Amino acid sequence: MSKKTDTTRRAIVGATVGVGLGLGAISMLVPIGALKPKKEVTPETEPPKKGDVFVFAEGDKKGDEITFADLPKGGPFVLAFPKDPKTGVIKNGERNNMVLLIRLDPGELSPETAEYAADGTVAYSAICTHLGCTVSDWVADKGDLLCPCHKGIYDPRQGAKVVGGPPPRPLPALPIQTEGDKPVCAGGFTSPVGVVAGLEPQGGSCAV
């Protein structure tokens, strides 16, 4: 057997193994792509929709429906989850469903904010657009919303505009309407909730 044949054989074996490994590696892309978990929509994780009432997200009255009487005028705000009034399901399976409800003087609201409000009550996503903490602190003297994680400050009278700190865009608003003594949801969030890389302040659309 000449030396040349040996080299040729080795090249063929090498090429075969190489092609096999290469194809194997490419096929791995499917399971790697599947590593991103499926998002399973259950009644608890559905986004808020028109007609949903709100329930307390925490505290002694956790799970109780919120009426206008529960919201102190001029703040502070209340953290809430939407609840489907027909099925009675509280949509707290998805953290991005958390909203903050605040009752303000209707005269103080900017025209754009007033569109989403009912009797001075506005609802915003409670998920900070900076890094996703809950906007859970109330600046009493200024009447602003404060995220305690990196001190992002939002003004609830001006469409939750960022008035201090690092958040890149305002909190998405959730339109509200009155139904009896309760504020209820009048549509979807005005922009995507939470941390979205590079989203412009005007991004998203008024869903539902």
In the complex, the residues that contact another protein under the rule CB under 8 A are: 35-37, 39, 57-58, 79, 94-96, 98, 126, 130-137, 147-152, 162, 165-169, 194-200
* Cα(128)–Cα(134) distance, integer angstroms: 6
Residue number with CB closer to another protein (114 or 169): 169
Residue 104: which of 71, 138, 145 has the closest Cα? Answer: 71
- Angle value at C-alpha 178, between 46 and 63, nearest 5 degrees: 50
User: Closest approach of Cβ 159 to another protein, in Å?
Assistant: 15
User: Closest approach of Cβ 190 to another protein, in Å?
Assistant: 18
* Cα(26)–Cα(78) distance, integer angstroms: 51
Residue number with CB closer to another protein (39 or 86): 39
Residue number with CB closer to another protein (169 or 182): 169
User: Closest approach of Cβ 119 to another protein, in Å?
Assistant: 24
- E strands, 34-75, where? 53-56
Residue number with CB closer to another protein (72 or 148): 148
State the DSSP code for 158: G
Residue 157: which of 139, 145, 166 has the closest Cα? Answer: 145
User: Closest approach of Cβ 143 to another protein, in Å?
Assistant: 18
